[in-house]
Structure 1
Amino acid sequence: MLYDVIILGAGTMGLSAGYQLAKKGQKVLMVDSYHPPHVHGSHHGETRIIRYAYGEGEAYVPFALRSKELWKDLEKRINQSILVETGVLNSGLETSPFIQNVWKSGDKYDLQVEKLSSQQLQQRWAGLTVPDNYIGAYEKDGGYLRTDQILNGYATLAASYGAVLAGGQRVQEVQINEGTVEVKTQGTIYQAKKLIVTAGAWGREVLSQLGLQLSITVIRKTFAWLHADESFRESKFPCFSFDTEMGTYYGFPDIDGAGLKIGRHDTGMPIHPDQKSVPFHDGDTEELLGFLSRFMGKGTFRLREGKTCMYSMTPDEDFIIDYHPEHPEVMFALGFSGHGFKFASAVGEALSEMAMEKDTTVDMGPFRLDRF
């Protein structure tokens, strides 16, 4: 069978693209080494933050706002809550480039971002112990996304439109033959007119088979849930991101009694995606507790569970979404650098538009490969 599009990597981006293409009448095959949702990529961990006044740069704001529209649409289609508006608190020195970008992007796009002093932060959220020279940028419309519901929802919808999900099939070889893309897995050869690569940490290796070398580094990351007191419950505390002299940390309130979830966004150990990561250990716990004792020192915390995941980092920590420069029938979305999940709905839309040779709803110019 000749498919219109084969998607390599059926994680969040791949399933989103598969759904969008199948809904538009395309014959779609989604191939994954595992059976999504799974713990081998970057989508596990139950929740992801969504925010719109974007500390990583103004170019992301239209992308984030379009993503929100599509998340709301997905909620209606699967009749489940997937976007919960707890609010998002960004905090750091007023001179922090991240905080400055939050203000700039919020002002430019007329987003509701509230500026709070250190004292105001501690008055509003009792568990905080914020230095006097820190400020807060609180976005009440921000919150979190439920990852498993999203992946399962996309998979179900894509299948309802005829898309095929081939899980548990590791790709061995990818070739371009006279305008047809050929994908070989163990014992099976698939063919399509177009190829989309959303293989996360493995995407660089896939594209190298087609002569494209991408500068993407895969790093080990950790996150954890900690038992916390009532002041950190979802009804009383927001999602958060802190740009500190200790590093950049992010987290979630205690959702449904699961515990306060926290991780460190910067730094990390380079690994190969097939390499078994060093398990979450006491040193990882100490790092997270060090942040909590400094900035949430009025709380009491005890480790419940720690996990590891992978970030696929580009040199500038911005995404790469583009066509193969020599094979326009090949598209890819890679290098999400630890902040991509919130955009997955709009990434899938953009990839579907690219595959069908249409203009993209959101300008992909800032994410093209030629910026390097």
Structure 2
Amino acid sequence: MHYDVIVLGAGSMGMAAGYFLSKSGKRTLLVDSFNPPHNKGSHHGDTRIIRHAYGEGEKYVPLALKAQELWNDLEKVTGKQLFLPTGVLNVGYEKTDFIQNIISSSKTYSLPLEILGSIEVNKRWPGITLPNKYIGCFEPTSGVLKCEECIEAYRELAERNGAAIITNSKVKEIMVHDKKVTIKTDDHTFSANALVVSAGAWSGSLLSMLDLNVPLNPVRKTFAWFDVNEDLYNHKEFPAFSFETSQGHYYGFPNIDGSGLKVGRHDGGETINPDEAILGFGELEKDATDLRQFLHHYMPSTQQLKYGKTCMYTLTPDEDFIIDLHPTYSNVAIASGFSGHGFKFSSVVGQILSELIISGKTEHNISPFSINRF
């Protein structure tokens, strides 16, 4: 069967791309090895932070702001609450690149940001205990995305627009010739005029079929929920957070609807093969002890571990994204290597992929995310 566009990987970026392509009238097929949203990749675990004043660099701010606008649009179209305006508290040493980037990007783009000393942070949020050496940068307009519900919303709209979705189907072969793309799975062969590759930790193997050797490193990550005092940590009072500490870089979420306080570690992790079973949470001793150590230092009012989960990051060497057209095939768009901070951008990345396929260019500046930098 022939389509205008085939999207390989219908998770965060791919499902958004499927929505924007189908909305534009393109006959779209999405193919995924699982049934998104699912717990096999990088998008599960209920929640993701969306930050606007961006510690990873000012180049991300315009995309973050556009992404927020598109998430707000998705809420209006679906009537679902997908974004919780909890605010985001970024903590670290004042002179680190992460904190300085947050401060400078807030000034460059006139973003609301409160810079608080440790005493001010501890007073405002009694669930936090910051030592004197840290400061807090609070973004009142940032917050939390319900990641799996976001993907479900884009899927529902894409299918309503006529997009087809083939689930639990692994791609075995990709061929590009004469502006035509052919893909083969175990059971089917499909063709299209154009292709999007957005398969997370599996992107490397798919791109190798297109003669690209991209330095992508899938790593195992863990996160967990802890019992807490509702008065201290509920999402109406307590923000999502990102802490860059001397022990490591941690992030987390307030208690949402009784779920508990969710905490994960952003740095570190073990390189994995995504096609092999990943060790579950707790199978490595450090899974729980690492998070408990963080909470003991900075949020000592937390209580027992409830449960934990694993997911994957797909890291690039510089931990910046890859969003680009294939260097040889102008009808192939690529989105990969989101390095553990990509979900918030998936709405705008989906729009960008749609623009690249339809016109070969995008209104957004994606030059920092060129595949040729490797």
Match of 1:245 in 2: 246
- The one-letter amino acid paired with 1:237 is F
8 Å CA contact 2:55, 2:100 repeated in 1: yes
- Mapped to 2, the partners of 1:198 and 1:300 lie a distance apart of 37
Mapping 1:260-275, distance limit 5 Å: 260-275=261-276
Give yes or no for the alignment of 1:20 onto 2:23: no
**TM-score, scaled relative to structure 2:** 0.98
Answer yes or no: is 1:218 the counterpart of 2:221.
no
Q: Find the residue that maps to 2:176 and give its secondary structure.
A: strand
1:279 pairs with 2:273: no
Q: Specify the SS of the correspondent of 1:77.
A: helix
Q: CA deviation at 1:189?
A: 0.2
The residue type paired with residue 306 of structure 1 is G
Q: How many aligned positions are there?
A: 371
SS in 2 for 1:287: helix
Task: Give 1:201's aligned residue.
Answer: 201
Q: Is the partner of 1:156 in helix, strand or coil?
A: helix
- For residues 178 and 187 of structure 1, what CA distance do their matches in structure 2 show? 24
1:30 aligned residue: 30
SS at the partner of 1:301?
coil
SS at structure 1 position matched to 2:129: coil
Residue-by-residue CA offset, 1:304-326 (whole Å, 9 max, x unaligned)? 11000000000000000011111
Give the drift of 1:358: 5.0
* Paired letter, 1:275: E
User: In 1, distance between residues paired with 2:195 and 2:118?
Assistant: 50
Query: Which segment is superposed worse, 73-82 or 361-370?
Result: 361-370
2:343 to 341, 344, 349: 341
Query: What amino acid does structure 2 have at the position aligned with 1:283?
Result: K
Instruction: Give 1:134-173 correspondences, 5 Å limit.
Output: 134-173=134-173
> What are structure 2's unaligned runs of at least 5 residues?
none
| CA-to-aligned-CA distance 1:13-41 (integer Å, 9 cap, x gap) | 11100000100000000000111110011
User: Could you say which residue in structure 2 is the equivalent of 1:48?
Assistant: 48
Q: Does 1:77 align with 2:80?
A: no
Note the 1:108-187 alignment, pairs <5 A: 108-187=108-187
TM-score of the pair, normalised by structure 1:
0.98
Say which SS state the counterpart of residue 228 (structure 1) adopts: coil
Work out whether residues 330 and 360 of structure 2, in 8 Å CA contact, stay in contact via their aligned partners in 1.
no
Partners of 1:127 and 1:150 lie apart in 2 by: 29
Q: Which amino acid aligns with 1:170?
A: K
Q: Deviations over 1:201-239 (max 9, x none)?
A: 000110101100100100000000111112011122100
Distance in 2 (CA, whole Å) between partners of 1:367 and 1:300 is 39
317, 320, 324: which is aligned to 2:319? 317
Partner of 2:373: 371
User: What corresponds to 1:57 in structure 2?
Assistant: 57
Give me the CA root mean square deviation. 0.9
Decide whether the 8 Å contact of 2:226 with 2:302 is kept in 1. no
Equivalent position to 2:304, from 297, 302, 305: 302
Query: Which 4+ stretches in 1 moved above 3 angstroms?
Result: none
Structure 1 residue 266: Cα displacement: 0.2
- AA of the residue aligned to 1:171: V
Tell me the distance in 2 between the aligned counterparts of 1:295 and 1:361: 42
- Tell me, yes or no, if the aligned pair for 2:54 and 2:105 is still in contact at 8 Å: yes
The percent of aligned pairs where both chains have the same amino acid is 49
State the AA in 1 paired with 2:291: L
- Which residue identity is paired with 2:315? M
| CA distance, structure 2, for counterparts of residue 55 and residue 164 of structure 1 | 38
What letter corresponds to residue 34 of structure 1 in structure 2?
F
Deviation at 1:265, TM superposition (A): 0.1
Post-superposition shift, 1:177?
2.6
Taking the aligned partners of 1:239 and 1:371, their CA distance within structure 2 comes to 33
The answer as to 2:69 corresponding to 1:66 is no
What is the distance in 1 between the residues matched to 2:228 and 2:169?
41
Structure 1 residue runs without a partner (length 5+): none
Identify which range, 356-365 or 92-101, moves more after superposition: 356-365
Please give the secondary structure, in 1, of the residue aligned with 2:61. helix
Q: In the alignment, which of 320, 325, 328 is matched to residue 326 of structure 1? A: 328
Show the counterpart of 2:3: 3
1:289 corresponds to which of 269, 288, 292: 292
1:93 alignment partner in structure 2: 93
- After the TM superposition, which residues 223-242 of structure 1 pair with which residues of structure 2 at under 5 Å, given as runs? 223-230=223-230, 231-242=232-243
Give the residue type in structure 1 aligned to 2:174: V
- For 1:20-63, what per-residue CA distance to the aligned partner results, in whole angstroms no more than 9, with x for missing partners? 01000000000001111100111100000001000000000000
